[in-house]
């Protein structure tokens, strides 16, 4: 079946994601268990599984119901007293920030500009820590001092404050995305069989007949409408499957119109 085959081919293409096995997600002083659960869920979605918490003020977070499909991640999450301990085994430490209104001492990279590539490169050989601050105040300057550089999710000036779970999801999506951006927008439907000119012509003819019988095409204007109808059908850029479908529909309609005329 065409639909099934199409779907299969697409699913194959969906497997490849960058490996986030070496990524350590560090939540610093999180307060809301639901946010911790949501962070874990996003990690599970994108293939990260090392969750560390620095001084969480979030009783019962290990049972957070928001961690759909990621309860194992909450169970194995490690707790630390300091940022220093939480990132000790990491070769690169990156802090997240909404920037603005702070004289930052560390370089800031936008997530959608060069931030993903250096992290992915590092991840091939070393562990990388990605730090997220508390819901209210984010990371402090002291937290930043542990970071090689800072990462900013570009947002509108009007509302720069993101929800913690959403910020984790956006960062991990960007890190997990397939590395190279395609150089040209490929038409991904290239494997779909297009209609032949013969099929298109059959549809044009039967459509014209329906239009004649219904009075849409007035006597003497046939030639003009023939061209008009053909161009229309061509602009549909029909697939072979759709051409058959459409042909069947219009044929049935014409059969019924003929029946009506006989009465």
Residues 159-178 that bind its own copies (CB under 8 A): 159-163, 165-167, 169-170, 173-174, 176-178
Q: Total residues at the site for its own copies (CB under 8 A)?
A: 98
Part in contact with its own copies (CB under 8 A); list of ranges 51-59, 83-91, 125-133, 183-191: 183-191
Exposed e or buried b per residue across 247-258, where buried means at least 16 C-beta atoms within 10 angstroms of its C-beta: beebeebbeeee
Scanning 50-58, 80-88, 125-133, 235-243 for contacts with its own copies by CB under 8 A, the matching segment is: 235-243
Q: How far is the CB of 234 from its own copies (least distance, A)?
A: 11
Contact string 193-212 vs its own copies (x = CB under 8 A): --------------x--xx-
Is residue 227 close enough to count as binding its own copies by CB under 8 A? Answer: no
- φ, ψ at 217 (rounded to 5°): -95, 115
Binding residue (CB under 8 A) for its own copies from 29, 41, 62, 127? 41
Contacts of its own copies in 1-40 (CB under 8 A): 1, 3-4, 6-7, 10-11, 13-15, 17, 38
Under the binding rule (CB under 8 A), the answer on residue 137 touching its own copies is no
The answer to whether residue 45 forms part of the interface with its own copies (CB under 8 A) is: yes
Task: Report the DSSP beta bridge partners of residue 110.
Answer: 152
Give the residue with the Cβ less far from its own copies, 13 or 81: 13
Per CB under 8 A, contacts with its own copies among 62-101 are: 66, 68-70, 99-100
234 counts as binding its own copies under rule CB under 8 A: no
In terms of C-beta distances under 8 Å and separation of at least 24 residues, what long-range contacts does 233-240 make, across chains too?
Answer: 233/200, 233/203, 233/204, 233/207, 234/200, 237/194, 238/194, 238/195, 238/199, 238/200, 238/203, 239/192, 239/193, 239/194, 239/195, 240/193, 240/194, 240/195, 240/196, 240/199
Q: Can residue 263 be called a binding residue for its own copies (CB under 8 A)?
A: yes
Cα–Cα distances in Å, from 205 out to 93, 211, 212, 231, 239?
Answer: 68, 10, 11, 12, 18
By CB under 8 A, tell whether 218 contacts its own copies: no
The structure tokens 């997990």 sit at 176
Least CB distance from residue 128 to its own copies, whole Å? 16
Report how far residue 18's alpha carbon sits from residue 112's, in angstroms, rounded to the nearest whole number.
16
- Cα torsion through 77, 82, 85, 86, rounded to 10: 30
Q: How far is the CB of 236 from its own copies (least distance, A)?
A: 4
Residue of 79, 193, 224, 248 interacting with its own copies (CB under 8 A): 248
Determine the Cα–Cα distance for residues 230 and 236; give it in Å rounded to an integer.
Answer: 10
């Amino acid at each position: 079946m065409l639909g099934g085959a199409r779907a299969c081919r697409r699913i194959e293409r969906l497997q490849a994601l960058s490996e986030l096995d070496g990524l350590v997600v560090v939540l610093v002083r999180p307060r809301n268990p639901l946010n911790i659960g949501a962070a874990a869920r996003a990690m599970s979605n994108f293939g990260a599984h090392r969750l560390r918490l620095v001084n969480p003020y979030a009783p019962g977070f290990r049972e957070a119901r928001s961690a759909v499909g990621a309860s194992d991640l909450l169970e194995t999450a490690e707790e630390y007293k300091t940022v220093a301990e939480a990132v000790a085994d990491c070769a690169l430490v990156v802090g997240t920030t909404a920037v603005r209104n702070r004289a930052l001492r560390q370089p800031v990279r936008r997530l959608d500009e060069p931030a993903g590539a250096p992290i992915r490169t590092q991840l091939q050989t070393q562990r990388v820590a990605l730090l997220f601050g508390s819901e209210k105040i984010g990371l402090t300057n002291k937290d930043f001092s542990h970071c090689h550089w800072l990462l900013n999710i570009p947002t509108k000036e009007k509302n720069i404050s993101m929800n913690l779970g959403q910020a984790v999801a956006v960062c991990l999506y960007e890190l997990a995305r397939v590395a190279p951006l395609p150089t040209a927008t490929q038409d991904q439907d290239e494997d779909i069989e297009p209609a032949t000119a013969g099929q298109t012509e059959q549809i044009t003819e039967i459509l014209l007949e329906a239009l004649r019988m219904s009075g849409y095409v007035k006597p003497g204007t046939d030639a003009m409408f023939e061209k008009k109808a053909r161009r229309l059908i061509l602009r549909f850029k029909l697939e072979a499957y759709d051409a058959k479908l459409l042909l069947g529909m219009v044929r049935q309609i014409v059969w019924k119109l003929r029946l009506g005329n006989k009465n």
